[in-house]
Amino acid sequence: MRIALINENSQAAKNGLIYGALKKVADEKGFDVDNYGMYAADDAAQLTYVQNGILAAALLNTGAADFVVTGCGTGEGAMLALNSFPGVICGHVEDPLDAYTFAQINDGNAMAIPFALKNGWGQELQLKYIFEQMWLEEPGSGYPKDRVVPEQRNKKILDGVRAAAYKPLVDIYKALDPELVKGAFAGEHFKELFTANAKDGEIKDYVLSLID
């Protein structure tokens, strides 16, 4: 599994702390982690939580990432932004129980964490526990176990509804403010990571055309 970490500007100063907790768990699982920033509050490329959604959608829909870890102050804005795009199912994850139940019941591919709320001493431990529970078992296995069949059936129904509700991703990008979209891909290491890991196709070609 390849996991992408994305931080928006209000919580950019915590990037190193978040990355450290995520990388520790990922290494134990044999996962790869790509850090798309922001890396510090004064980065030249400033990401809003809306741009987190634009960026996450490009990564997930091209296979550049299998899972996105993101968030904002409350986690709500980032969750809403990511869920505005096709191919993204993002859960609001505040604690390890949220992580476990979201993974097992909803089988999503992104989580938005409230990095500013209830986070003082021990935040790195809370993050580590969240990441451990997110990938404790095979996603989509169901919880509680007597609800596995209806939960998996409902997930397939939801996938069908979402497929019918969204336009193609490139069409969505073209309908948005060009500078907003371009800015989502302006991170220091975006081009090298995306070029190396994204599958060839219309989305990859369009995104790279914006930054070349």
Tell me: the pLDDT tens digits for 151-173?
Answer: 899 999 999 999 999 999 999 99
The two tokens of residue 53 are 């959604």
Round the average pLDDT of the chain to a whole number and report it: 96
Beta bridge partners of 90: 110
The two tokens of residue 2 are 């390849």
How does residue 34 score in pLDDT terms, banded at 50, 70 and 90? Answer: very high
Per-residue pLDDT at 146: 87
pLDDT in tens, 189-198: 999 999 999 9
How does residue 200 score in pLDDT terms, banded at 50, 70 and 90? Answer: very high
pLDDT in tens, 134-150: 999 999 999 998 888 99
The two tokens of residue 24 are 């520790």
Q: Which amino acid is at 113?
A: I
- Give the phi and the psi of residue 80 in degrees, each rounded to 5: -65, -40
Q: What is the mean pLDDT of residues 122-126?
A: 93
User: Is 38's pLDDT higher than 90?
Assistant: yes
**Which residues are CB-neighbours of 190 under 8 A, at least 6 positions away?**
36, 37, 55, 211
User: Is 19's pLDDT higher than 90?
Assistant: yes
Please state whether the peptide bond connecting residue 144 to the residue before it is cis, i.e. omega within 30 degrees of 0: yes
Q: Which amino acid is at 160?
A: G
Per-residue pLDDT at 84: 97
Rounded to an integer, what distance in angstroms lies between the CA atom of residue 11 and that of residue 135? 24
pLDDT in tens, 59-86: 999 999 999 999 999 999 999 999 999 9
Number of structural domains (the chain) is: 1
Give percent above pLDDT 90 in the chain. 93
Q: What is the mean pLDDT of residues 84-110?
A: 97
Number of other residues whose CB lies within 10 A of the CB of residue 195: 13
How does residue 105 score in pLDDT terms, banded at 50, 70 and 90? Answer: very high
| 195: nearest Cα among 209, 183, 181 | 209
Domain ranges, residue 177: 2-211
CATH number at residue 49: 3.40.1400.10
Query: Assign residue 140 a region: left if phi > 0, alpha if psi is -120 to 50, beta otherwise?
Result: left
User: Is 212's pLDDT higher than 90?
Assistant: no
Per-residue pLDDT at 119: 82
Q: Which amino acid is at 118?
A: K
Place of tokens 């969240």: 130
Enter the pTM of the model. 0.95
Alpha-carbon separation of residue 14 from 67, 201, 207 (angstroms): 20, 34, 27
